[in-house]
Structure 1
Amino acid sequence: MNKFAMFGKLTALPGKRGELADMMLASGDTLSGMDGCIYYIVHEAEEEPDVLWITELWESREAHAASLQNEQVRELIGRCMPLIAEAGGIKVKPIGGKGL
């Protein structure tokens, strides 16, 4: 399986999680037509009021890399950066399960 996935963690500046989430969710329009994007889901952490988790599944590592070169995606990242205190996450390789 050549699928590529990421679990991203974004810590918003205090009190800015909702605004950041709204911006990230607006990217759904951009990603809906993006070749290779299977899913992109934004989650609010229940016990961390400033944290968002983003799960992404792509057809391949190359499809994900290509998305980061997209002008609309780069513009979105630029708009979000002033709201982010910390960013991190992990890259994972899906090996099976429901939905794949």
Structure 2
Amino acid sequence: MRTRPGHRDEVAAILLDGVEGLRAAGCHLYVVGVSDTDPDLVVVNEVWQSREHHARSLQLPETKAAIARAMPLLTGEFTGQETTVRGGLGL
């Protein structure tokens, strides 16, 4: 996701605040990173038990609050890709 100039670290902090509840919501992996070459880019990698678990997580009060805090700091430019995990390390 692209942040407004100068807000990358603030958005990353918002995304990392309160991640403890994600596991109970069905999240197996949630990693927030920042680009080494783009000062306004935040990258989030997530693995969920199911698409439905992810959708329900977006209705949690703490998730809604984090989204409300982050949205004014974002440009609205998002890219994403859904995949099916076949295996690997870390899950």
TM-score range, shorter chain: 0.7 to 0.9
Q: TM-score with structure 1 length normalisation?
A: 0.81
Letter in 1 for 2:28: I
Q: Which runs of 5+ in 2 are unaligned?
A: none
Letter in 1 for 2:33: H
**C-alpha contact 1:30 1:73 (8 A) present in aligned 2:** no
**C-alpha contact 1:40 1:57 (8 A) present in aligned 2:** yes
Give 1:28 deviation, angstroms.
1.4
The root-mean-square deviation of aligned C-alpha atoms, in Å, is: 1.4
Q: Which runs of 5+ in 1 are unaligned?
A: 1-9
**1:25-81, Cα deviation, whole Å (9 max, x unpaired):** 11313424x321111110011111110100001111111111011121111111100
Q: Which stretch of structure 1 is more off in the superposition, 22-31 or 53-62? A: 22-31
Identity %: 38
Q: How many residues align?
A: 90
2:28 aligned residue: 38
**Whose RCO is larger (CA < 8 A, sep 6+)?**
1
